Amino acid sequence: MAEYDLIIIGGGPGGYVAAIRAAQLGLKTACVEGRGALGGTCLNVGCIPSKAMLHASEMLHEAETSFAKMGIVAKSVSVDLPQMHAHKKSVIEANTKGIEFLFKKNKVDYIKGWGTIPAPGEVKVGDETHKAKNIVIATGSEPATLPFLEIDEERIVSSTGALDLPKVPKKLVVIGGGVIGLELGSVWKRLGSEVTVIEYLDEITPGQDGEVAREFRKILKKQGIAFELGAAVTGVETLKTKLKVAFQRRKDGSEHQIDADIVLVATGRRPYTKGLALEELGVRMERGVVMTDARFRTNIPGLYAIGDVTEGPMLAHKAEDEGMAVAEEIARGKSHVNYAVIPGVIYTTPEVASVGVTEEALKAQGRDYKAGKFPFMANGRAKANLVSDGFVKLLADAKTGQLLGAHIIGPAAGDLIHEICVGMEMGATAADIARTCHAHPTYSEAVREAALAAGDGAIHF
Ligand code: NAI
């Protein structure tokens, strides 16, 4: 039996990145994964398959709505759903195989099976117990459902089932107006479903900059998605031919019902630690979250945790950053993740991207700030491409001009945001962005114009 410097339990974006970095830093490393493929939720049933479906359905939508305007005649555009799923599957396979290749290249041992931690310094997989000087828990998260709702992944589905529906539902009811609900709601709306999103709060995407969230909802509504805001789902009745979703409007307590063929439960995710035997080990946990210090250490010596099982946003890229950092921590005794600069992206059309603080948070802090805003309507490239919905908003300190946050809704927002991420990481001001030459014509000019708007004024608006 091999003795390892490090065993990582979980082969998702947190775990596999930690494994590769640890091996690069000279640690004898193994990664334990039970689902039969590396890449975790993100690669197998999350980020990557959803992007394949989002892109394919967006192309259909473009063909239906923009082609004629642009002078393209596509007489019979239709959906071949089995082929769309096959495309998605091939993307997943190519990516998971890619990680296996990276493991081999970096000499990371891939231990297949579900791991448990019988004692500090030991990881048991099947009948074999492996010794490790250090263990990292990177077991991710699973969908959290409502207490009265059982997910069967056929008619009442989580994101996993919603990515694999064998036919386009006539009526899809989405519970939860967060990232998953809106991304997958968009997919099926474009493929032909009637989609209603029921959200408990009074606005979609809680935590988002308010102005962006309102604009986002208006655009999605224009695309045909219906919203029931401020509504609590109270039950789902399963009939032979349909589902009946009951909800209560919070403001007046009135009871309502809506029919559905499929119900997508998208009310958040919870840490996944099943089978690890953490309670027996005495690992400190709160509400299922594994508690760590700033150096990813749990209260058990040699046992670390990263990613969705720990505190903070459940995002693949946050887990990846922690994966690299925990490997550096174990190999070199130092690490750093800048939690103030973790972008969030919603891959709808238009995309929504944000980093740093929201305007609401700045107001609540009583901070003196200036906001610069620029609409894509005034961006030449966006107009030429018929994607001029949305805007860029930059927030900067009123005195120093230092960038505090950015909120973008519009074309390629998920890519544009990184200019501001790099700027924030380097302590840049809005004037630094404004003074940087941006190529014309690009969407990124809207970011520069927003920075100009935070100073002496935008040129094109
Ligand atoms: P979420 O936390 O983004 O949204 C859940 C929504 O459900 C919230 O708006 C909440 O108010 C609402 N809700 C909760 N209980 C409800 C109820 N009983 N009735 C009606 N509404 C209710 O969670 P979501 O969308 O399930 O995503 C889970 C995690 O996965 C999140 O942490 C998200 O960041 C991550 N994710 C990230 C993606 C991305 O970065 N593009 C894509 C998909 C998921």
b/e 343-376 (16+ beta carbons within 10 angstroms → b): bbbbbbbbbbbbbbbbbeebeeeeeebbbbbbbb
Q: Which CATH superfamily is domain 344-453 in?
A: FAD/NAD-linked reductase, C-terminal dimerisation domain (3.30.390.30)
- CA 340 to the chain's CA centroid: 17
> Are 219 and 189 within 8 A, CB to CB?
no
Parts of the chain belonging to CATH 3.50.50.60: 3-143+270-337, 156-267
Give the residue range(s) of CATH 3.30.390.30 domains in the chain. Answer: 344-453
Q: Could you confirm whether 440 is annotated as catalytic?
A: yes
Both tokens assigned to 334: 């130092």
Residue 429: the pLDDT is: 98
Tell me, using a 6 A CB cutoff, whether residue 345 lines ligand 1: yes
Asked if the model's pLDDT at residue 136 lies above 80, the reply is: yes
Place of tokens 């993740």: 337
Does residue 2 carry a pLDDT above 80?
no
Cα of 184 from ligand 1 centre, angstroms: 11
Q: Whose CA is nearest to atom 28 of ligand 1?
A: 268
Whether 1 shows a pLDDT value over 80: the answer reads no
Give just the sign of the alpha carbon dihedral 225, 41, 232, 261: positive
Amino acid code (one letter) for 241: T
Task: Determine the distance separating the centroid of ligand 1 and the alpha carbon of 42, expressed in angstroms.
Answer: 15
266 lines ligand 1 (CB under 6 A): yes
Question: Can you give the three-state secondary structure of 67-93, one letter per residue?
Answer: CCCCCCCCCCCCCCHHHHHHHHHHHHH
In the predicted structure, residue 157 carries a pLDDT above the cut 90:
yes
Query: What is the 178 CA–ligand 1 centroid distance (Å)?
Result: 4
Ligand 1 lined by 269 (C-beta under 6 Å): yes
pLDDT of residue 420: 98
What's the predicted TM-score (pTM) here? 0.97
**Domain 3-143+270-337 carries which CATH code?**
3.50.50.60
CATH number of 156-267: 3.50.50.60
> Of the residues 256, 336, 440, 460, which is catalytic?
440
pLDDT tens by residue, 316-374: 999 999 999 999 999 999 999 999 999 999 999 999 999 999 999 999 999 999 999 99
Neighbours of 267 (CB within 10 A): 22
Q: Which long-range contacts (CB under 8 A, 24 or more apart) does 232-236 make?
A: 232/200, 233/146, 233/149, 233/175, 233/198, 233/200, 234/148, 235/148, 236/148, 236/149, 236/156, 236/263
CB atoms within 10 A of CB 126: 12
Strand ranges across the sheet with 344-346: 344-346, 351-356, 403-410, 391-397, 369-375
**What's the confidence (pLDDT) of residue 92?**
98
Q: Is 190 in the pocket of ligand 1 (CB under 6 A)?
A: no
For residue 265, pLDDT beyond 80: yes
- Taking only the tens place, the pLDDT of each residue in 76-119 is 899 999 999 999 999 999 999 999 999 999 999 999 999 999 99
Q: Is the CB of 232 under 6 A from ligand 1?
A: yes
Listing DSSP states for 418-443 in one string gives: HHHHHHHHTT-BHHHHHHS---TT-T
pLDDT band at 419 (very low <50, low <70, confident <90, very high): very high
Mean pLDDT within 188-210 = 98
What atom in ligand 1 is closest to the CA of residue 177? 9
Angstrom distance (rounded) from CA 307 to CA 314:
7
Question: Is the CB–ligand 1 distance for residue 225 below 6 Å?
Answer: no
Place of tokens 């032909």: 192
As to burial, measured by CB atoms within 10 angstroms (0-12 exposed, 13-18 middle, 19+ buried), residue 447 is: buried
Distance between Cα 266 and ligand 1 center (Å): 5
Q: Whose CA is nearest to atom 38 of ligand 1?
A: 179
Q: How far apart are CA 415 and CA 421, in angstroms?
A: 10
Q: Look over the chain and give the mean of its residue pLDDT values, rounded to a whole number.
A: 97
